[in-house]
Structure 1
Amino acid sequence: MNSRMRAVNFFFFKVIPLSIIFGFCCLYSLKAQQFSFNGTRTKNAVNFNLIRNLVIIPIYINDKGPYNFILDTGVGPLVITDTTIINDLRLSDLRPIKITGLGKGIEIDAFLTNQVSARVGKASIDYIPTAILKTDILGLSNYMGVKVYGLLGYYFFNSFTVEINYSSKRVVFSLPGTKKKIKGDIIPLQIINNKPYINVELYTKELGTINAKVVVDNGASHAISLETLNEKPFPVPLNSIPANLGIGLSGPISGNVGRIPKIRIGNFELKEVISSYPIYNDVAAKTLFLNRNGNLGADILSRFNTTFDYTNEIMYLKQNPTYKRPFEHDMSGIEVYVEEDATKHYFISRIEPNSPAEIAGIREGDEILSINFTNTKTLNLNDITKTLRSGDGRGIFLSINRNGELLIKLIKLKKRI
């Protein structure tokens, strides 16, 4: 799979098998596995970039950096996806392993190490369990439009009470037990296999009201993914469309996209929520915790200022100014990825069949030079994504480069879900 085919319109899945976590525990049980502060400090904060609903923070690895990492409740160990930093980190004790993750495909090669120290702001950890992918199959940098080197999850969230303030784009983290009034409604958590789970109430036209257990995954940019119901594939609503849902550790994930009329999380009720339904054998059949119904992602979580307290198994939700923004799916049928040299170049990686883009004659591999006559060099992926969801029936002019030929195409956006 080349870099052009790694880009996805919705989200990527990631699973680090439980055997890896157990392996870390056995191999490195005597090593410290908590972030901590020096001296009497109990609290710190870092700013973050928000791209496609995902939180990107700067991390120093083995005193090198900073490197951009996605802060992600959906992963256990530190995951390094971009191996270009391995030489900088001077790692020697790398244990080869095979990983079977989500998606269609075969096992992939990776390495385990305990030679990594990490620092976030004033907090640091030595010997953090780390998985290093031999090949960057997720293509996070192409997907995000900035250089991204990996994912940081459980060991950070388990060390602190962590507030992700999507309004101010700031992560505030404090030691457990630090006296602080936390704002928001309390949502009980369960920490299972190093990941947080909550119960939500779903209402669907076909099934009525369902109580569902979902993993809270702020590192997945979708709203909600529904995978299983009573250990069978979650029923796909009649009003849905086939879609390429993302990329997993074992390859692409396909399925359908539809809407859930109502989702209740505690006292909050969200309506007409975009929902994804991955093919059962690609996702649900490979999950470690079978008694779960799906995955709650950042298109919902980013509507709140969210605080995670793993020690007390609590999540706090306080709605922010984006709470009432409508849930929208792409209205063009275009998937975009980024290649960067001296400047950014936006290419089309996939065209959905029978979509406005296909009707307009857009092709895979076309480079987007401008959108509505605004040069894409002045835009970022958030700008482009927002434009491609900007209104049913709206006309969008694309200037494209196709093998050196300049073409102007008009796409009439269509609300397909």
Structure 2
Amino acid sequence: MLTKYKFIRLAIYRKLMICAGFILLFSNALPAQDFAFPGNQKRQSLHFKLIKNLIIIPVYINEKGPYDFVLDTGVGPLIITEPSIIDTLNFAKMRKIKVSGLGLETVEAFVSQNISARIGMAEAQHMPTAILKEDLFNLSGHLGVKIYGLVGFNFFNSFVVDVRYTESRMIFSNPGTKIKYKGSKIPILIENLKPYVYAEVDAPDVGKIKAKLLMDTGASHALSMETFNGDKFPLPYSKIKANLGMSLSGQIKGYLGRVKELSIGEFDFKDVISGFPDYKIISQKIDLKTRNGNLGADLLRKFNIQFNYREGFIYVRPNGNFKMPFEHDMVGMVVYLDQKEYKRFFIGEVDENSPAEKSGLCPDDEIIGVNFRSMEMYSLNELSELFKSGANRSIILEIYRDKQVFFKVIHLEKRI
């Protein structure tokens, strides 16, 4: 079981096995309930928060809220991670399933089709919903705001959804409405309630291959390459060992490196930072036969994207983020937020041979100041950007450990 001090990087693997179990469960249930506008309304504009590349939207559950949910193309049914938002929740009367992680541990989850959800003015009744008894994702700790769940397929399948990353705004319209598409059209496949896109990827010692990638707005990273021809994806020559994320029962080990070139439609990207998870571990629990990897929000945010699930395509147009280089954090540690008492920043893990490790930082250290400024002056998002702000820059951290205060100087380093 995760403690508040053992928060690990947000990555796709946390939710893969949970969502896989729920998809199998709901595949034999009633057809997925769509969202719909009242009366003659045809479209709506809604602002969102963009935190660590993830889209956070307000959602009403059973006409109460709003509650912050992650808008996540990587999930199928609605997932509630904070069950306290439901007044009459009776776990004893709900159907229970056990979902395996990437190890031996299993966790309990509950399913319901008696939940209503509303996003803006669009509402869905009797939503197929997965409810966790506790927040196994620790999304709140990762993002620095209270997160109550994830919403994905049911919303995207109900509308044409225009996500404008640079405006922190989305416009969702009824499929039958006249819509002005902008940019380049790219086909997508909807399989098991999730969207996939084909890309051309330059693989070491192999050359350019056609890769099938899950489009995942709920993954902070740019890219994860998992498999090729039934085996692990070829590793780049320059790489670093890394903890890529947390499953339900342990860390996912692997490497971080750069993919020399990736092309989607007519758009080419160079030196894309990618995770390369340990194939032996993830292949035991995840069916990798249907895809080569995962395309995350650090790349998707370079476009404004119009999603049309029903007709199987997206339109993409480059935005102000398009030419920004891909950079990994230059510190080599995870910082998470504990908000149970008051806002406190803790170090969750430290990468091997990283600037953080070299400076003597340890897991469970509390950060009480950065560059002689109180932590009240920082958000998690601002710290994340600071840790990528430039090689050879120095940052001074004030650390509380074992009832003592230390000052640690970290020299930022471009590791990949």
- 2: distance between equivalents of 1:193 and 1:323? 30
The corresponding residue for 2:400 is 401
Determine if the alignment matches structure 1 residue 214 to structure 2 residue 213.
Answer: yes
Secondary structure of 1:312 counterpart: coil
- 35-44 or 401-410, which moves further after superposition? 401-410
Count, aligned residues: 414
The answer to whether the Cα contact below 8 Å between 1:105 and 1:251 also exists between their aligned partners in 2 is no
| CA displacement at 1:135 relative to structure 2 | 2.8
The corresponding residue for 1:231 is 230
Determine if the alignment matches structure 1 residue 66 to structure 2 residue 66.
Answer: yes
The corresponding residue for 2:3 is 2
Secondary structure of 2:363 counterpart: coil
Determine if the alignment matches structure 1 residue 21 to structure 2 residue 20.
Answer: no
Determine if the alignment matches structure 1 residue 359 to structure 2 residue 361.
Answer: no
- 396-405 or 12-21, which moves further after superposition? 12-21
Structure 2 gaps of 5+ residues are none
- 2: distance between equivalents of 1:311 and 1:412? 49
Q: Structure 2-normalised TM-score? A: 0.95
Determine if the alignment matches structure 1 residue 128 to structure 2 residue 124.
Answer: no
Residues 9-408 of structure 1: pairs in structure 2 closer than 5 A: 13-15=14-16, 16=18, 18=20, 20-29=22-31, 33-87=33-87, 93-101=93-101, 103-288=102-287, 290-341=289-340, 343-408=342-407
Q: Structure 1-normalised TM-score? A: 0.94
| CA displacement at 1:309 relative to structure 2 | 0.3
The answer to whether the Cα contact below 8 Å between 1:64 and 1:88 also exists between their aligned partners in 2 is no
Q: In the TM superposition, what whole-angstrom CA distance separates every residue of 1:36-85 from its partner, at most 9, and x where no partner exists?
A: 01100010121111111000001000111111110000000011122332
| CA displacement at 1:400 relative to structure 2 | 1.4
- 2: distance between equivalents of 1:235 and 1:3? 35
CA RMSD of aligned residues (A): 1.9
Secondary structure of 1:14 counterpart: helix
- 2: distance between equivalents of 1:135 and 1:378? 30
- 11-20 or 125-134, which moves further after superposition? 11-20
- 2: distance between equivalents of 1:132 and 1:119? 17
| CA displacement at 1:86 relative to structure 2 | 3.8
| CA displacement at 1:391 relative to structure 2 | 1.3
Segments ≥4 residues shifted beyond 6 Å: none
| CA displacement at 1:334 relative to structure 2 | 1.5
The answer to whether the Cα contact below 8 Å between 1:343 and 1:377 also exists between their aligned partners in 2 is no
- 337-346 or 348-357, which moves further after superposition? 337-346
Secondary structure of 2:407 counterpart: strand
The answer to whether the Cα contact below 8 Å between 2:334 and 2:347 also exists between their aligned partners in 1 is yes
- 1: distance between equivalents of 2:12 and 2:28? 32
Q: Which amino acid aligns with 1:174?
A: S
The answer to whether the Cα contact below 8 Å between 2:14 and 2:137 also exists between their aligned partners in 1 is no
- 2: distance between equivalents of 1:104 and 1:336? 25
The verdict on how the C-alpha distance between 1:123 and 1:93 changes in structure 2, with shifts beyond 3 A counting, is farther
Percent of paired sites with the same residue: 44
- 2: distance between equivalents of 1:17 and 1:293? 18
Q: In the TM superposition, what whole-angstrom CA distance separates every residue of 1:106-138 from its partner, at most 9, and x where no partner exists?
A: 221100111100000000001111111223221
| CA displacement at 1:90 relative to structure 2 | 6.8
| CA displacement at 1:371 relative to structure 2 | 1.6
Structure 1 gaps of 5+ residues are none
| CA displacement at 1:9 relative to structure 2 | 6.3
Q: Which amino acid aligns with 2:7?
A: R
- 2: distance between equivalents of 1:18 and 1:401? 40
Determine if the alignment matches structure 1 residue 414 to structure 2 residue 416.
Answer: no
Q: In the TM superposition, what whole-angstrom CA distance separates every residue of 1:321-360 from its partner, at most 9, and x where no partner exists?
A: 0111111111111110101146421111111121111111
- 1: distance between equivalents of 2:29 and 2:386? 49
- 1: distance between equivalents of 2:171 and 2:343? 31
- 2: distance between equivalents of 1:10 and 1:408? 30
| CA displacement at 1:210 relative to structure 2 | 1.1
The answer to whether the Cα contact below 8 Å between 1:399 and 1:407 also exists between their aligned partners in 2 is yes
The verdict on how the C-alpha distance between 1:17 and 1:52 changes in structure 2, with shifts beyond 3 A counting, is closer
- 68-77 or 337-346, which moves further after superposition? 337-346
- 86-95 or 69-78, which moves further after superposition? 86-95
- 1: distance between equivalents of 2:375 and 2:174? 43
